[in-house]
Amino acid sequence: METQNIDLKSENIFVKIVKILWKKIDKDDNLTAKEQYAFDIFKTCLYDENNILYLNSQNSYKKYIVTKQYVLNKDISTFIVLEAGKITIVNHHYRYDIDIPQKTSNIMNRMFDDKVAVDRRNMENEIYNNITDSLEIVLGQFKYKLEQKNT
């Protein structure tokens, strides 16, 4: 048992050393004020429940954040497009195209993908938990609709 603890401790020390070395090699991006503002706007809008996240087709890397108001009645307040290495923040008063360093861009893409995955999981859980009809009732409803159509 004691040798196992020593092995775990030495493994933890090794992992810590590797992480420290990796941090020195793979340094975080130093963002300009403009890039930091864009990142903060993106992050704020990403987690705002009044916004909807859209992905473009699998062939494109564009990701969109739009307000629910835009989806419902085309009233745009802010529209964000995230592409590889670039973010565009636009509404009817302004448009900013900001280049983002690659590491930060990758982080933003992961943040977006993670948020979409969480939202999708929550939506599925909500849908599945709201099931009230048995399969037998659903079949009866389909048969009734079919009979009504044929008469």
Q: Is the pLDDT of residue 115 over 90?
A: yes
Q: Which of 57, 58, 61, 64 is nearest to 42 (CA)?
A: 64
pTM over 0.95: no
pLDDT band at 82 (very low <50, low <70, confident <90, very high): very high
Q: What is the mean pLDDT of residues 107-134?
A: 87
pLDDT band at 86 (very low <50, low <70, confident <90, very high): very high
pLDDT band at 143 (very low <50, low <70, confident <90, very high): very high
Q: What angle do CA 134, 117, 79 make, to 5 degrees?
A: 115
Q: Which two structure tokens, joined as six digits, stand for 145?
A: 């609709």
Question: For 53-75, what is each residue's pLDDT tens digit?
Answer: 887 766 667 888 888 877 676 66
Q: Pick 7 or 87 by higher pLDDT.
A: 87
Distances, alpha carbon 63 to alpha carbons 5, 43, 47, 71, in Å: 46, 13, 14, 16
pLDDT for residue 135 = 81
Question: For 2-52, what is each residue's pLDDT tens digit?
Answer: 555 555 566 778 788 777 776 667 667 788 999 999 999 999 999 998 888
Q: What is the mean pLDDT of residues 97-101?
A: 94
In three-state secondary structure terms, 132 is: coil
